[in-house]
Structure 1
């Protein structure tokens, strides 16, 4: 899986500022942000499923050239699924950081566990 920094450096910088106590957010505002980000994650999950299913249903004939195309499409789809997985984990990490900035540590810990589970599920060779 190709690892690309899809905002991870910025999320880490924000998390570091929260840990240092220099960044704080209103808990009510953070609840709204977390809810919006839940919607982002839900949509990413839907797109991931579509991409994963689409890679397996190319509709191409059994000719050798069609089989080669199917392999290529499948590889690109797998790369896209990996990228979506990284976005999902990053979005959960962002939720965790916002929750910590609002002093909602128990909820932030739950998000941390969710991010770990999502990252574990994104390991190559998983079944979907």
Structure 2
């Protein structure tokens, strides 16, 4: 089977001979010359303006006169007093002793509890 084509729509024309000549496009010769000339003219104007700006900037520099006399001295350098070392004591030994004593107390309690449970598992007293 053949696919259905789109229906052709017939447009009515106002004139007697079947064509409306007023709405037709009239071909004209195409040229970039006018556009190119305007672009070249604008580019040249921008170049001239850039040269003028460069000259104005170059002429706007004014050198300052040198100071008369000796230059200012630098401020004296601040010398800080040296740092004296002090004895380093971080209480390491005390902390070790404290932790050791706590651990020993904890181990004593654990071992006594363990021994009590161990003995109670073997020796059952009857009332």
Q: Same fold (TM over 0.5)?
A: no
Bigger-Rg structure (1/2) = 2
TM range (shorter): under 0.3
Higher share in helix: 1
TM-score normalised by the chain length of structure 1: 0.27
